[in-house]
Amino acid sequence: MPPPPPPSLARLHQRLSLSLLRGRSPPAAADAFLHRGLASSSSSAAAAAAVAAAAGREKSSRRTLAYLLGVAAAMVGASYAAVPLYRRFCQATGYGGTVQRRESVEEKISRHARDGTTTSREIIVQFNADVADGMPWKFIPTQREVKVKPGESALAFYTAENRSSAPITGVSTYNVAPMKAAIYFNKIQCFCFEEQTLLPGEQIDMPVFFYIDPEFETDPKMEGVNNIVLSYTFFKVNDS
């Protein structure tokens, strides 16, 4: 004879209710049903908790990735964004020989010419060139150094070549070392802070016309300074 079918859920509920009202123990089938229900509820709660934890980890990972991408983008943009700020700083302080509004280089030259200022000390001006990461240009000084006396002007050239297969626009910054000598190094003509666009394979020569203030020779702080280094760095301008 086949075993009897399991009691229905409604029948189990009725028998369980009667047993509880009469103070008896619940039938074995009802007791098993309760344990299965509790176990099922516990498993469902654990599964729900696991899903929620996984969702939380995924959300946290997305936030972390977005933060890292934002930091990377900010670092890439910071280099080029600093160029106009650096230019305004140089104009305000005269750093690196940037002409300030109170006296132009031409006015300085005329003033010293009227005063008959003469100098005898010789200075070696050296030239350096760099490109920032991601800038596919070859950028070099045409000459490594020139000799000049305070009160004299001199002309030098830098060469840039686009070695990529697409047009590239770049902009340069500069610095003068040692820093204490920068106030006496005046650029009459310069390509710094100006955007330069080169076609694929194109090469150009860019002039730097500068003047060493004769007051360099009479400043006690310049004693022992016989070399000045002029450095330029080219940055790639974003297409956007």
Do 82 and 142 lie in one domain? The reply is: no
Region 205-220 average pLDDT: 93
DSSP per-residue string spanning 136-189: -EEEEESSSEEEE-TT-EEEEEEEEEE-SSS-EEEEEEEEEESGGGGGGEEEEE
Total of domains in the chain: 2
pLDDT, tens digit (0-9, with 9 covering 90-100), for 81-125? 444 544 444 544 444 444 444 677 667 767 767 777 778 899 999
Query: Closest Cα to residue 172, out of 194, 200, 204, 197?
Result: 194
Maximum Cα–Cα distance for the chain, whole Å? 132
Task: Specify the residue for token string 């098993």.
Answer: 32
Do 116 and 78 lie in one domain? The reply is: no
Q: Which of the listed ranges 97-101, 193-197, 236-240 does the model predict with the highest average pLDDT?
A: 193-197
Domain boundaries, position 91: 61-101
The answer to whether residues 188 and 209 touch, using CB atoms and an 8 Å cutoff, is yes
Do 145 and 84 lie in one domain? The reply is: no
DSSP single-letter state for residue 211: E
Q: What is the pLDDT of residue 238?
A: 80
Inside any domain, residue 27: no
Do 114 and 143 lie in one domain? The reply is: yes
Do 226 and 114 lie in one domain? The reply is: yes
pTM recorded for the entire structure: 0.57
Do 112 and 231 lie in one domain? The reply is: yes
Boundary residue ending a domain (101, 125, 152): 101
